[in-house]
Each structure stands twice: as C-alpha cells, then as structure tokens.
C-alpha cells in the first residue's frame, strides 16, 4: 500500500481489503515446480507458448484470463470446493446450448476490473471508461438470465453476487456520447438533451451569429427602420449597435438602455445589457461549456464510482463463470474426463496424456499411459528407458493431471482417481545461476534437499535424472541414498534414471517400469513410448547420438568403450548389498565427529563473545560511575554560579588597585573554568549535559 501511494501520488480508493493467501488451503507449488512443469511460462522461450496456460486459456474476458492463472498456480485441496467446480463444469459440458450462449455473451464484456479501477482515479479516468463500463454491464442481465434458467444449484451463490446495475447503465446511456474524446476538459462529452445549460451553450456556439442578426432585426422593427442601424464587432468594443446620425434624428429619443460607447463622423455606437449578455454567451460559451461538461462528467463518474465494490464483485463472479465455462469447452474439445477426488493416498490414472504435448504435436498421435501410485505398495516407481523415449513427458503429465484435477477441471485421461495432494515437488533438468554463484550441481542438490526436508506422505515428488551434475560414482551414490530416503518417508515418487543398477534395489514399495522401444536389426531404434512393467538395462544414448549426427567413427568407438565399461560394474554390487538400507557406522561416526567439531567451534566462539560482553559490562560500569561524579561536579558548579548571581548587590567601593595583584574571586572562577575545560565533551556524556556545561563555561567567562 505504501508503494502504491508513493507511485500513484494519490489516494487508493479502489482497494478495500487485503486477503492473506492461506497456503494450507491450496496445493503448494513452489517456483521450481511452476517452472519445471511450464505452468505459466515456457522454459525455453521464456514466454507463454507451450505452457498449460496457453492451452487452457480459452476464456473470453480479461478477468477470466487473470483468474485462470490463479486457478493454475493455486489448485485447491478441499474436496467439496473441487467437486463444486467439477459439478459446474459437468453441467456446462453437458448443456452445449447454455455454454455456447454464455460464452457468446462473455465475448463482449471488457475488463470491468480495470475500467472501474481507472474510474477511481479522477486524473486518469475519461468518458470512454464510462462507455466501456456501460457496454460491458449491458451484457450482465443476459448472462444472469442464462445462468438462472440453467438451474444449476452450485452457481446459485455466484448468481446472487452478480448485479445488473440498471441505474448506472441508464445514467451513462442518457448522459455520455457514444464515441467521446479521450480528453475530459475539451467538451463534446455530454449528450444533447441531458442538461439544459449544456444545450443552451451548445446552441449558442452553433447559432451565435444567428442570435445577433435576430437581435438586429428586433431593434429595427422597434423603430420601423430598414437601414441606418446595424450590429458590428471589433476587438476593442466587442459587439456594438451602430446608428447613423440621420437615423438618430428619426428616432429622436434614444432609450436609457442604450449606452453610448463611441462617436464617429456619421454615426454613434451603443451597447445594451441584452447585447452584452449575447456577447458574453457567444465569446465565453465554449469555455463555459467545457467547464460545465467536465463538472457534469465528474458528477456522473462519482455516481458510478459508488458502485465500485459491487462492480468488482460482479466482475470476479463473471470471471469464475468464464473460467469454468472455458474448462467445459476444453473438456469437450480435447476429450477430457471427470476425475474422482478422494482422501485416499492413491493416484490412479488410466490412459493419461500430456495436455500440452498432445496439442502441440498434432501431427503425431500421442501415446497414453497409465499410472498407479500409493503409499503402501506402489509408492516409488523407477522409470528407465532410452533417451527421447518420453520419460520426462510421462513424469510431467502425471503431475499436470493431478494439478488439473485439483483445479476443478476435467483431465486428459480415460479416467483418473486422485487422492488429495498437498504439495508437488520436482527435480528436473539442469541449469545454473551464476549471478547467485550457484553451479548446476549445487542447484540440483538444493532442490533435492528441499524435497527431502519438506515432502509429506500426501506429497507427489517428480525426480528426473538425479546426480548428473557430478562424477558418475558420486551421482550414483546420491541417487541411491535419496531413493532409499524417499522410500523410508513413504512419499509418492516418480523417479526416472539412467543409473540402471538402481532398478535392482531391494525395497518393498519400489516398482520398476520402462518406456519401450523397438531395436531393429540394423542397430536403429523406434520409439514406442508405451510404459511397461520391469526395467531396462540400456539407455541407447549412443543410438540417439547417431540420430543427432555424431560421426560414425565416434559412434563405433563409443560402442567399443561401452562394452569394456559394462564388463565391470561395481555399483551394481553395491546396490545389491545395500538394498535393504544396510550401512556401516564408519561414515556415520565421521559425520558425528564433524558435528562435534562444529559444536566445539561454536562453543569457543560463544565463550569469546561472553568474555567480550563481560569486558563491555565493566567498561559500562566505569563510565556510569564517572558520569555520576561529573553530574555532582556540574551540580556544585550550578549552585556556586546561582549564589554569585543571587547575592545582593552592594555599593561599589572605589579603591586604589595595584598592578598585577591577583584577585581572589578571579582565581576561584579560573579554577572552575579549568575544571570545566578538563571535561571531555566528546565523550559519553548525554547531549543535554554537554549543552549545560557549555552554557556554564560561557557564564563564567563573562564573570571573569
């Protein structure tokens, strides 16, 4: 709020309350997960293409588009709220006529939230904002009528909060021109017939000369004249009545209302109150009408502004309807099915698809895959398979289906049963952050640490290729230890890896799956992209390297080296021996000893700090004692000076003085002055004492 007040340099009238986002009420998606799953922004293009938002954004209102982002980034965890959304989406999906009519009306609704917010800033609002509000509000009654006729119980609360705003719509309709200028101080805003004064001034501007001619004819008729009287204009006199001297002889008695302004050789010039009024109207009409229209505009703006809360509430509820109708459209268009949401710790997906990949690669049929995860039997799925087989796509699609389900939308699957998830964690890809001095591997470990420290039994963890950023032996060790820890925590996990020996780990809730391929006789491979049970012991990385265009001699040599490496595989033996989480105390003791060293170091630092604190306390005590002594000295000085000042003056006695003879009183004052000069005014004395001492010093110097 302080930032807004500072930047806007104005009141913030359109912000009425601040709501706290309760993390406990939403599915938590940290920034890393939002980035890795490409929910709003694409990893590669840093834009909105190839994201879940880009595929789902078929909303028809700007408010709906903004709300869709919120739905994506803050999925629900309350089953009743999720099912309420799903019920509305189901009704919209089933009733194609309602959905079509509703979305047709939503198309012409502008950004009500921004229009009404602009209107609250008098310096920025203009008449077009009022027209935009009116045009948008005109569709609200029709939308409300469609929703009421649909008789959907779940949207009854939304309907109650949607107002029709008949009064302000009517006010804007009769008052503001349909295509007003962007400026508000140059007139041409108010419609004809709305304000009598505006109509009169506008009429004067349009017909000013006509009124002057009519007045001239009126004056001629007054004396039955055909010539000799005319109304003219110049920059000095303005408008005037010129009567020739010959005509004046005919008129004889000039009325009192005629005020002479100038005498010419053959005529005289006069003015009248009526002519002055006409002149003022003609000359000042444009300025007056601009000010008047601006005043009327502000009055209308203030009347509309009073409905800000209701307009914002209506806009928010229209946005909800827009998003849910959009969900229904997507479900129908992309063949999505309704998920079943429950409290069981299970994820059961039949023929699941990646919502983004299947829409971007429309030339290639997407191969759907199943997924089953729980906390008791199939808790940790190790996914193996060659590069480009679709492991990362599969991992992401499971996470996205869970997010979409808890958004309250139908999902890209034949069927899906989702036990409520509280958090989704991802460890995908390789990147660095040199600005923060974080290497690729450090970021990888930081993300893994967050998973191991914060994941719960209700969380979903996605790990893709853990341990790639360091040596093979270190990476394999970290991957295996992390896998064992996740198994111990009973966190639902999808764990893809190229460390194939990990598939031989002997843990009861770990299951192996692989993405199948077809290996041809000529050494080439075809990707099937179908998930099957069991593991694979090949990554086919050299085959992919060949597809990428690596020279044949390099490929041949790589196969030769691979055969030599696979003859010895000490990691496979380590997996088999430590599969039951068996470990010696050697490294455990090493870590404990390291902790002891850290504690001793901390204790030593604490002792040093305590000694330093004791020294500070002693110095403080000494300073306080010195301060008390100085206070007493200052008090004595004050008493001595007051005694000198109060002493009753006596009659001066003139005596012969001797040169260079010391004066007793002067010696005393000099002693006092020396004592004051010895006080360190730059020390720890409070400012008030420093000022007081300086004042005493000045007084003594005057006495001396």
In sequence order, the 6+-apart residues with CB closer than 8 A to the CB of 302 are none
- Provide the strand spans (E) within 612-683: none
Average pLDDT over residues 583-611: 74
Q: 190: number of CA atoms within 13 Å, CB side?
A: 27
What pLDDT is stored for residue 663 in this prediction? 45
Question: Closest by alpha carbon to 509, among 530, 483, 535?
Answer: 483
125 or 682, which is more confident = 125
List beta partners, residue 511: 381
What is the per-residue pLDDT for 680? 63
pLDDT at 232 over 80: yes
What distances in angstroms separate CA 694 from CA 302, 427, 646, one per listed residue? Answer: 62, 70, 21
- Torsion on CA atoms 248, 249, 251, 255, rounded to nearest 10: 60
Would you put residue 129 in left (φ > 0), alpha (ψ -120 to 50) or beta?
Answer: alpha
Give the integer Cα–Cα distance in Å for 544 and 558. Answer: 12
Rounded mean pLDDT of 298-317? Answer: 90
pLDDT reported for residue 661: 45
Beta bridge partners, 270, equal 241, 260
User: Please, what is the Cα angle at 246 between 240 and 248, to 5 degrees?
Assistant: 55
Q: Are 634 and 696 in contact (CB under 8 A)?
A: yes
pLDDT at residue 407 tops 90: yes
Strand segments, DSSP code E, in 438-524 are: 460-464, 492-496, 510-519
For the stretch 609-637, what's the b/e string if a residue is b when 16 or more beta carbons lie within 10 angstroms of its beta carbon?
A: eeeeeeeeeeeeeeeeeeeeebeeebeeb
Mean pLDDT (the chain, rounded): 82
CA nearest 569: which of 472, 646, 670? Answer: 472
pLDDT at 625: 87
Confidence of residue 626 (pLDDT cuts 50, 70, 90): confident
All structural domains of the chain, each given as residue ranges with its CATH number in brackets, are: 2-165+307-334 (1.10.1420.10), 196-288 (1.10.1420.10), 340-582 (3.40.50.300), 589-647+654-703 (no CATH)
- CA max distance for the chain: 137
Within 8 A by CB and 6+ apart from 641, the residues are: 696, 699, 700
The highest-confidence range among 519-523, 554-558, 643-647, by mean pLDDT, is 554-558
Greater confidence (607 vs 75) lies with 75
Query: CA-CA distance, 373 to 378, in Å (whole number)?
Result: 5
What's the pLDDT at 659? 43
Residue 643 pLDDT: 75
272 vs 563, higher pLDDT: 272
Which value, in Å, is the radius of gyration of the alpha carbons in the chain?
Answer: 45
| Residue indicated by tokens 């004064």 | 197
Task: For residue range 490-519, list pLDDT tens digits in order.
Answer: 999 999 888 877 888 888 888 888 887 776
Alpha-carbon distances of 584 from 290, 396, 578, rounded to whole Å: 90, 37, 10
Q: Which residues pair with 268 in a beta bridge?
A: 243, 263
pLDDT value at residue 315 = 92
Q: pLDDT tens, 326-375?
A: 999 999 999 999 999 998 889 999 999 999 998 887 777 888 999 999 98
Residue 416's pLDDT band (boundaries 50, 70, 90)?
very high
> CA-CA distance, 323 to 158, in Å (whole number)?
13
Q: What are 532's strand-pairing partners?
A: 514
* pLDDT band of 184, cuts 50, 70, 90: confident
Q: Is the pLDDT of residue 629 over 70?
A: yes
Burial class (CB in 10 A: 0-12, 13-18, 19+), 225: middle
- Is 513 strand, coil or helix? strand
Q: Is the pTM of this model over 0.75?
A: no
pLDDT at position 473, please?
75
Q: How much is the pLDDT for 349?
A: 94
- At residue 46, the pLDDT reads 54
How much is the pLDDT for 578? 60
666-680 pLDDT, tens digit per residue, is 566 666 666 666 666
| pLDDT of 12 | 66
More confident: 287 or 704:
287
Residue 566 has pLDDT above 80, yes or no: no
Residue 190 is classified by DSSP as B
Taking alpha carbons only, the member of 38, 58, 62 closest to residue 48 is: 38
Please say whether the beta carbons of 316 and 61 come within 8 A: no
pLDDT at 312: 92
| pLDDT score, position 647 | 57
Percent of the chain clearing pLDDT 90 (strictly above)? 28
Helical segments of 651-686, H only: 664-677
Distance (Å, whole) CA 585 – CA 534: 33
Quote the pLDDT of residue 65: 94
Are 190 and 177 in contact, with CB atoms under 8 Å apart?
A: yes
Look at residue 657 in the predicted model and tell me its pLDDT.
Answer: 46
Q: State the pLDDT at residue 632.
A: 85
Is the pLDDT at 138 greater than 50, yes or no?
Answer: yes
> Distance between CA 674 and CA 135 in Å, rounded?
88
Strand partners, 372: 348
405 vs 75: CA distance, rounded Å: 8
**pLDDT higher than 60, residue 385:** yes
Identify the residue with better confidence: 441 or 182. Answer: 182
* Residues paired with residue 419 on neighbouring β-strands, in sequence order: 342
Q: Which of 383-397, 405-419, 518-532, 625-639 has the highest mean pLDDT?
A: 405-419
Residue 402 has pLDDT above 80, yes or no: yes
The beta strands (E) that lie in 210-278 are given as 229-234, 238-244, 259-263, 267-271
- Least reliable range by pLDDT among 34-38, 162-166, 466-470, 612-616: 466-470
Which residues have CB under 8 Å from 452's CB, separation 6+?
Answer: 482, 485, 486, 489
Q: Three-state SS for 272?
A: coil
Range 531-545 average pLDDT: 74
**Residue 34 DSSP class:** H
pLDDT band at 660 (very low <50, low <70, confident <90, very high): very low
Only one residue has tokens 């021996």, namely: 577
Q: How many Å separate Cα 109 from the centre of its chain? A: 23
Please state, in angstroms and rounded to a whole number, the distance separating the CA atoms of residues 260 and 120: 54
Local confidence band at 658 (pLDDT 50, 70, 90 cut-offs):
very low
Strands 28-29 and 423-427: parallel
> Which tops the pLDDT comparison, 205 or 313?
313
Cα distance between residue 171 and residue 304, in whole Å: 9
Q: Which among 5-9, 449-453, 528-532 has the top mean pLDDT?
A: 449-453
Between 94 and 686, residue with greater pLDDT:
94
Mean pLDDT, rounded, for 471-498: 85
Strand stretches in 132-237, DSSP E: 229-234
CB atoms within 10 A of CB 647: 8
């Amino acid at each position: 709020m302080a930032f807004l007040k500072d930047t806007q340099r104005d009141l913030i009238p359109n912000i009425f309350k601040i709501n706290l986002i309760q993390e406990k009420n939403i599915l938590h998606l940290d920034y890393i997960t939002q980035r890795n799953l490409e929910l709003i922004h694409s990893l590669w293009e840093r834009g909105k293409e190839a994201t879940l938002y880009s595929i789902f954004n078929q909303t028809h209102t700007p408010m709906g588009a903004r709300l869709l982002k919120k739905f994506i980034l803050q999925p629900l965890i309350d089953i009743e709220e999720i099912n309420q959304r799903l019920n509305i989406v189901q009704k919209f999906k089933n009733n194609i006529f309602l959905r079509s009519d509703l979305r047709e009306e939503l198309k012409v609704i502008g950004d009500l939230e921004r229009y009404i917010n602009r209107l609250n800033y008098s310096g920025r609002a203009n008449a077009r904002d009022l027209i935009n509000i009116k045009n948008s509000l005109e569709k609200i009654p029709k939308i409300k009528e469609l929703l009421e006729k649909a008789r959907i119980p779940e949207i009854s609360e939304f309907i109650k909060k949607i107002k029709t705003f008949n009064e302000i719509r009517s006010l804007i309709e009769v008052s503001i021109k349909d295509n007003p200028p962007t400026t508000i101080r140059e007139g041409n805003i108010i419609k004809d017939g709305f304000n009598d004064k505006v109509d009169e001034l506008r009429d004067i501007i349009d017909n000013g000369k006509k009124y002057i001619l009519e007045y001239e004819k009126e004056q001629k008729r007054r004396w039955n004249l055909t010539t000799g009287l005319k109304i003219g204009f110049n920059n000095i006199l303005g408008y005037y009545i010129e009567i020739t001297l010959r005509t004046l002889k005919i008129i004889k008695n000039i009325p009192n209302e005629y005020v002479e302004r100038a005498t010419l050789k053959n005529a005289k010039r006069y003015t009248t109150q009526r002519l002055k009024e006409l002149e003022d109207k003609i000359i000042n009409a444009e300025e007056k009408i601009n000010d008047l229209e601006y005043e009327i505009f502000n009055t209308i703006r203030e009347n509309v502004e009073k409905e800000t809360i209701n307009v914002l509430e209506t806009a928010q509820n229209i946005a909800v309807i827009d998003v849910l109708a959009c969900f229904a459209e997507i479900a129908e268009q992309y063949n999505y099915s309704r998920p079943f949401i429950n409290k069981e710790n299970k994820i059961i997906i039949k023929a699941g698809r990646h919502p983004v990949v299947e829409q971007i690669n429309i030339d290639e049929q997407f191969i759907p895959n199943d997924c089953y995860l729980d906390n008791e039997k199939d808790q940790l799925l190790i996914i193996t398979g060659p590069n480009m087989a679709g492991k990362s796509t599969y991992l992401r699609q499971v996470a996205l289906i869970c997010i979409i389900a808890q958004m309250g939308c139908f999902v890209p699957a034949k069927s899906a049963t989702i036990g409520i998830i509280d958090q989704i964690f991802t460890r995908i890809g390789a990147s660095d952050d040199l600005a923060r001095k974080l290497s690729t591997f450090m970021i990888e470990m930081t993300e893994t640490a967050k998973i191991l420290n914060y994941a719960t039994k209700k969380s979903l963890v996605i790990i893709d290729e853990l341990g790639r950023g360091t040596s093979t032996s270190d990476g394999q060790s970290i991957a295996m230890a992390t896998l064992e820890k996740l198994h111990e925590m009973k966190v639902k996990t999808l764990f893809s890896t190229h460390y194939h020996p990990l598939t031989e780990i002997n843990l009861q809730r770990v299951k192996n799956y692989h993405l199948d391929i077809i290996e041809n006789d000529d050494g080439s491979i075809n990707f099937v992209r179908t998930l099957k049970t069991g593991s694979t012991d090949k990554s086919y990385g050299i085959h992919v390297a060949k597809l990428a265009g690596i020279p044949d001699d390099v490929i041949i040599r790589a196969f030769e080296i691979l055969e030599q490496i696979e003859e010895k595989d000490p990691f496979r033996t380590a997996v088999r021996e430590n599969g039951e989480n068996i470990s010696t105390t050697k490294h455990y003791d090493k870590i404990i000893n390291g902790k002891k060293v850290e504690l001793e170091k901390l204790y030593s630092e604490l002792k040093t700090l305590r000694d330093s604190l004791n020294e500070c306390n002693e110095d403080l005590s000494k300073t306080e004692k010195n301060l008390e002594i100085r206070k007493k000295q200052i008090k004595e000085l004050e008493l001595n000076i007051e005694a000198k000042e109060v002493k009753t003056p006596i009659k001066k006695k003139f005596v012969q003085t001797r040169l260079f003879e010391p004066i007793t009183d002067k010696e005393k004052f000099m002693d006092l002055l020396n004592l004051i000069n010895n006080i360190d005014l730059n020390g720890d004395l409070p400012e008030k004492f420093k000022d007081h001492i300086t004042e005493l010093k000045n007084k003594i110097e005057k006495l001396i």
